[in-house]
Structure 1
């Protein structure tokens, strides 16, 4: 049993991670400021003696004694992180500094939930970890993209300078139950619009591609990475290497929901990447990990969740 801190633990990914860690018998401290997280996501854990909840913003130091830290705190959808871009950058950078300082003090291993956004609008497809990216440093998405890139820099500098045990994981599009209905992400947007019988909004011509990983697969990869040898720091891509166009995704969701929503096309937002697909060769070789939930069954589970949530 380990004592484990999960920042952003009441969010979409964080709450599923807390479920997994408590289920594995660990003592879990969940920290969240509820900007995008919700107590509803972890309400079922509140009576468990192995789970503790603390309201806290990671831009301020935290003094606790833990063995492992999963640093997931940061809004991850464009509509949320662009709402307060300065605070988004602070969360990524100051949050990383504070959590790395904690890890250094207590000798904890720490995993950074980085993102495929560090690759920007990639000129290489699929994206391997060795690709340095194609990022606009002054655009409307830069608060998130560059904030996460700076966090990666801090993690590796703490590793080189202070021998902190780090893990840097680049998360590609993930979906599943507990996504927010208004988070602006394509899967939740399409499902909510379809269930409400509204037109499905597609930006651009709909031929841009994404790959989607079901949340259970993502959490499995995250836990395996944390438990991997100290020398394997990453960065490592975790996501689904099978990609799909936005039009194909919308048509699949219309079929699965049984609605008659029509497709409506709008202008592509600034700096929106045309393609996003991970090369997961490193995750396969070092972690023995690859996604196991196909898109169809994963979307079905997510649709059932939103039927209840709405």
Structure 2
């Protein structure tokens, strides 16, 4: 089973001709509600990839909680580890203008109450995979990783959104997933030498003795595990919306590894899934079903 310990949000997406300036009121054109949060997104991706998934997180006692959990519930993800708190459900306020530029304010709300006690109560066992991000308090993420490792579970960390973090976290991580910005950020924190991307991934993998996977946008992804380098291409597409593509990659990658796939095949599947996600707007609604990904793999990734 994949246990996701992370954020659950509702995204409020407003559309307007232009972005407002301080003190200015702009009349918009439409408003959308969409489930989000990196934890929720990755849980749904892993589920659509075919994995059994349990979500551990926090929502509020408001109406937004039902909206935020709607697609997770439809996917029959185990939500017994989701707690209702006396804070509002995590909310992202997003304004997008006609040029596609955006302004985003994230109000963590109930996500700020997530602790490792929720994971301990929900349970994680030997053979499980724990999937982590950095959208909930660091103290809880650090303790959750240690608890999972102590119980014999594998730990997958997506170092997003990037921020300075407690480097002890990497001592309990089996698979680290980063994009280009996150890779540069963690290398800077470690005062690492300047290398090309593949060498940097190798250096990081060797330092912590784990698998490191770096997504490189249109250039695909590269990973190093026990000194062996694996590269996969990206899907050749014209993207419509890249929101949620990274979370789709992480969820599919975790599902593949949990299913016993070789790293190369798990990465290839994740890369195709992330590419397909770029063809539809929104975070969770864009995550493809496993059948669509398999069809594209059969047809070829070009």
Whether the TM-score (by the shorter chain) exceeds 0.5 is no
More strand by share: 2
**What's the TM-score bracket when you normalise by the shorter of the two chains?**
0.3 to 0.5
TM-score by structure 1 length? 0.40
TM-score by structure 2 length? 0.41
